[in-house]
Amino acid sequence: MDKLHLIHIFCTVVKVGSFANAANHLSMSPSSISKAINRLETDLQCQLFHRSTRKLSLSEEGNSYFSTTSKIIEDLQSCEEILKNQTQQPCGLLKLNLPVSYGRIYILPLISKFQTIYPEIDIHLSFDDSYVDLVNGGYDLSIRTGTLEDKNHFTRKLSPMDFLICASPQYIEKMRETSDTDEISIEHLEQQPWIQFRFKQTGRVMPISIPYKGGVHKFSPNKGIVLDDGEALAHLCNDHLGLTQVPHFIAKPWINRGDLISLLPIYRPEGAGVFITYSEKNLLPTKSRVFIDFISQEMESMGETAITTWAEDLPVVISF
């Protein structure tokens, strides 16, 4: 029997006035109550109660001990009640870590709606494309894009990660004018200037991956511009500086406005996707659970699920 339990028994005896009443209140036997008080007195090396056949009263030491320990028990019970309410009601501080582009384009526009539904949840946002340790960083949830190498966290997949070959309408017209045939060939695409992405963490430039005759044709262009910012790829592509390959979530606003056009079928790398990660599963706080459910529902309303994205339904301009 641990010390805290002994203190709880002691405070109960004081409040209800006898060992027998305490035994009934705590669903214990009177002898177990007596043994618990004796053990506590032995541990403290003082007598807590004056005992007689008719009356049980606190000693001076017992009275002093009760004034302190009763407050501890009350504070503990109050704290436990608060924690129980927090696990049942969505409230408190929710710390989120988001990838830069996905966070800006997809998540930020949803924050106002989420706070309208859950006004008792305060949100702290952090944007970072590099690996983030949830526990050491103090985050409740993280959203990651790409492939997940850390198997220590639990995840929910929001969507696959589809890559689109894009160009501005003006640049597409320019390609058609310079093509030797009516059709644009894969060789013609390879000769174009490309706006490519470089990973900050490794310095590696991502090759171009084109769905080709049932497989994937990969190549590294000989000319073009290299950037380490995904959204900047779309900006320069919109300036008619060449072709680019970007994730579906970066391409979406540009395609919706008609500024860029997706040319080929999507390229979907195996294992890549958009994931919400969290460190606990069974004890996931309500504030985290409602955010995960909210984001999942919003993504579904945008045509994205764990196995599909809206980009699958785009018309194909060039096919091989």
In a domain, 319, yes or no: no
In a domain, 320, yes or no: no
Q: Specify whether 236 is located in the same domain as 186.
A: yes
Q: Give all strands of the β-sheet with 243-247 in edge-to-edge order.
A: 224-227, 194-197, 243-247, 163-167, 261-262
Q: Specify whether 262 is located in the same domain as 183.
A: yes
Between 25 and 319, the higher pLDDT residue = 25
Instruction: Provide the domain limits for residue 72.
Output: 3-86
In a domain, 296, yes or no: yes
> At 45, which amino acid appears?
Q
Q: Rounded to an integer, what distance in angstroms lies between the CA atom of residue 129 and that of residue 39?
A: 57
Q: Specify whether 114 is located in the same domain as 251.
A: no
pLDDT of residue 257: 97
Question: What confidence tens digit (pLDDT) does each residue in 183-233 have?
Answer: 778 888 999 999 999 998 889 999 999 998 889 999 999 889 999 999 999
Backbone dihedral region for residue 155 (phi beyond 0: left; psi -120 to 50: alpha; all else: beta)? beta
pLDDT of residue 141: 95
Question: What confidence tens digit (pLDDT) does each residue in 241-260 have?
Answer: 999 999 999 999 999 999 99
pLDDT of residue 182: 65
Percent of the chain beyond pLDDT 90?
67
In a domain, 101, yes or no: yes
Checking if the pLDDT of 178 tops 80, the result is no
Q: Specify whether 241 is located in the same domain as 111.
A: no
pLDDT of residue 212: 87
Residues paired with 205 in a beta bridge:
198
pLDDT of residue 86: 60
pTM recorded for the entire structure: 0.73
Between 291 and 25, the higher pLDDT residue = 291
The answer to whether 164 touches 145, Cβ cutoff 8 Å, is no
In a domain, 247, yes or no: yes
Percent of the chain beyond pLDDT 70?
95
- Count of structural domains, the chain: 3
pLDDT of residue 2: 87
In a domain, 233, yes or no: yes
Q: Specify whether 153 is located in the same domain as 281.
A: yes
Q: How high does pLDDT run on average in the chain?
A: 91
> H/E element holding 93?
strand 92-98
In a domain, 21, yes or no: yes
Question: What confidence tens digit (pLDDT) does each residue in 126-171 have?
Answer: 999 888 888 778 899 999 999 987 767 789 999 999 999 999 999 9
Strands 243-247 and 121-127, sheet pairing: unpaired
Q: Specify whether 119 is located in the same domain as 23.
A: no
pLDDT of residue 194: 97
Radius of gyration of the chain (CA): 32
pLDDT of residue 51: 85
Q: Which of 230, 246, 267 is the last residue of a domain?
A: 267
Average pLDDT over residues 297-320: 93
196-205 long-range contacts, CB within 8 A, separation 24+: 196/221, 196/224, 196/225, 196/226, 196/227, 196/233, 196/244, 196/245, 197/226, 197/227, 197/228, 197/230, 197/233, 197/245, 197/246, 198/226, 198/227, 198/228, 199/228, 200/129, 200/130, 200/228, 201/130
Q: Specify whether 52 is located in the same domain as 107.
A: no
In a domain, 317, yes or no: no
Q: Specify whether 178 is located in the same domain as 256.
A: yes
Q: Specify whether 279 is located in the same domain as 136.
A: yes
Q: Rounded to an integer, what distance in angstroms lies between the CA atom of residue 206 and that of residue 193?
A: 15
Q: Specify whether 207 is located in the same domain as 248.
A: yes
End-to-end CA gap in the chain: 75
Q: Specify whether 169 is located in the same domain as 260.
A: yes
Q: Specify whether 291 is located in the same domain as 155.
A: yes
Checking if the pLDDT of 87 tops 80, the result is no
Q: Which of 86, 116, 136 is the last residue of a domain?
A: 86
Checking if the pLDDT of 37 tops 70, the result is yes
Percent helix, strand and coil across the chain, each to the nearest 5? 45, 20, 35
39-43, 76-80, 85-89, 247-251: which range is least confident on average? 85-89
